């Protein structure tokens, strides 16, 4: 395991910073979970654009929407840059971080590898961390910092792949872990998030890269935690069938990556007219409306639009439109 990034890294498990990881420390341009999801959900061109070594115009953009997640990772995992609250004197009177002083302060903080958050967000992150740690302690699970945010690099199907694991316990029988902050950690909402953001692909990619790098065949679990009180948590492990399908997707992503990297061609969307058929549920909503309006007209003799005009007329004085 390497402690510092001193050049291109080969296959194995390494302890490097998030900045070094996102810059792609592998010997050849490698595919991450994010890039795999872009390849499959959008296009190879999107993946090329998001790669720091393939795209000469690549710019790393720090997004405010990710600040809470970064801070929560620091609070729970004990790795990465610290998070600090904006001092009151740089904020606007309404508490917004919109002043020139606040922006300059935030820029300096980010340059030092830390994450700026507001005071209420600072408290919320610590509350989130306390909730997560209490839930995990109840399940007899702990996240020692020494085993957090480890980077696995390995070659799979002729493609160099990388994955930064939020936590990999020392015991190889234990699963790999990933922390997600969200607005709704209920099981149904979590399932929708997994489908919307392709987190099943992340789970497959991480376990495959880890196995190729270490020989350990591990399970994978997510911890979803709500960003607002009461900061409820949901611990999720995808079922066997879901993981089988996810591995089919990661295999396809690697096939696409290998082809594009070999040919130097990273196509976007088709340069043709795409004919779309809208889904049945969308059409069914209009058919339901047509049925409703026909029933209203049959019962009252008036069209719904006419009734709406009568309801809004100044002389109506509260008379029901169906009268």
Distances (CA, A) of 300 to 23, 286, 288, 312: 68, 21, 18, 18
Give the model's confidence band at 312: pLDDT under 50 very low, under 70 low, under 90 confident, else very high. low
Alpha carbons within 13 angstroms on the beta-carbon side of residue 279 total: 2
For the stretch 190-219, pLDDT in tens is 999 999 999 999 999 999 999 999 999 999
Check: CB of residue 83 under 8 Å from CB of residue 118.
Answer: no
CATH architecture, domain defined by 12-64+134-263: Alpha-Beta Complex (3.90)
Mean pLDDT to the nearest integer, 96-114: 85
- With a pLDDT cut of 90, the percent of the chain lying above it is 52
Structure tokens at 310: 């009568």
pLDDT score of 45: 96
Instruction: Please report the sign of the dihedral spanned by the C-alpha atoms of residue 98, residue 100, residue 105, residue 109.
Output: positive
Q: Quick one: how far is CA 10 from the chain centroid?
A: 27
- Output phi, psi for 120, to 5 deg: -70, -35
Cite the beta strand spans of 112-170 per DSSP E.
115-117, 148-156, 159-167
Give the number of other Cβ atoms within 10 Å of residue 218's Cβ: 20
Give the number of other Cβ atoms within 10 Å of residue 193's Cβ: 19
Tokens 């801070």 correspond to 71
Mean pLDDT to the nearest integer, 65-88: 76
For the stretch 128-147, pLDDT in tens is 788 888 888 888 888 888 89
Cβ burial of 72 (10 Å; 0-12, 13-18, 19+) is buried
Give CA torsion, residues 261, 262, 264, 266, to 10 deg.
-50
Structure tokens at 125: 């992150």
For the stretch 51-75, pLDDT in tens is 999 998 887 655 555 777 777 777 7
Structure tokens at 4: 């510092």
The residue extents of the domains of the chain are 12-64+134-263, 276-323
- What is the rounded CA–CA span in Å between residue 277 and residue 265? 30
Give the number of other Cβ atoms within 10 Å of residue 73's Cβ: 27
Residues 6+ apart with CB under 8 A from 8: 25, 26, 27
Q: Quick one: how far is CA 3 from the chain centroid?
A: 27
Give the model's confidence band at 16: pLDDT under 50 very low, under 70 low, under 90 confident, else very high. very high
Structure tokens at 176: 């790999």
Cβ contacts of 1-10, under 8 Å, gap ≥ 24: 1/150, 9/151, 9/153, 10/153
Check: CB of residue 87 under 8 Å from CB of residue 81.
Answer: no
How do beta strands 220-226 and 176-182 pair?
parallel
Mean pLDDT to the nearest integer, 285-304: 82
- What is the rounded CA–CA span in Å between residue 224 and residue 180? 5
Instruction: Measure the CA angle with vertex 271, ends 265 and 272; round to 5°.
Output: 150
How do beta strands 115-117 and 83-85 pair?
parallel
């Amino acid at each position: 395991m390497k402690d510092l990034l001193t050049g291109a890294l080969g296959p194995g498990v390494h302890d490097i910073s998030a900045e070094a990881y996102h810059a792609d420390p592998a010997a050849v341009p490698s595919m991450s979970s994010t890039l795999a999801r872009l390849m499959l959900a959008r296009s190879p061109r999107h993946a090329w654009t998001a790669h720091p070594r393939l795209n000469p115009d690549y710019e790393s953009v720090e997004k405010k929407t990710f600040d809470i997640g970064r801070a929560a990772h620091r609070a729970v995992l004990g790795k990465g840059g610290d998070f600090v609250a904006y001092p009151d004197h740089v904020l606007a009177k309404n508490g917004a971080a919109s002043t020139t002083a606040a922006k300059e302060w935030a820029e300096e903080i980010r340059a030092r590898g830390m994450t700026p958050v507001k005071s209420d967000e600072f408290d919320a992150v610590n509350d989130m961390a306390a909730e997560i740690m209490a839930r995990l302690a109840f399940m007899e699970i702990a996240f020692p910092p020494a085993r957090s945010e480890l980077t696995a690099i390995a070659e799979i199907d002729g493609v160099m792949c990388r994955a930064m694991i939020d936590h990999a316990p020392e015991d190889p029988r234990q699963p790999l872990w990933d922390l997600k902050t969200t607005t709704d950690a209920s099981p149904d909402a979590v399932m929708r998030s997994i489908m919307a953001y392709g987190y099943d692909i992340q789970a497959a990619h991480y376990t495959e890269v880890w196995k190729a790098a270490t020989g350990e065949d591990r399970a994978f679990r997510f911890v979803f935690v709500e960003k607002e009180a009461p900061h409820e948590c949901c611990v999720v492990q995808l079922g066997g069938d879901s993981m089988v399908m996810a591995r089919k997707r990661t295999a396809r992503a690697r096939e696409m990556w290998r082809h594009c990297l070999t040919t130097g061609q990273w196509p976007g969307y088709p340069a043709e007219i795409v004919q779309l058929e809208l889904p049945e549920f969308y059409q069914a909503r209009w058919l339901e409306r047509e049925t409703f309006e026909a029933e209203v007209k049959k019962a009252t003799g008036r069209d719904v639009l006419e009734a709406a005009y009568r309801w809004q007329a100044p002389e109506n004085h509260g008379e029901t439109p169906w009268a």
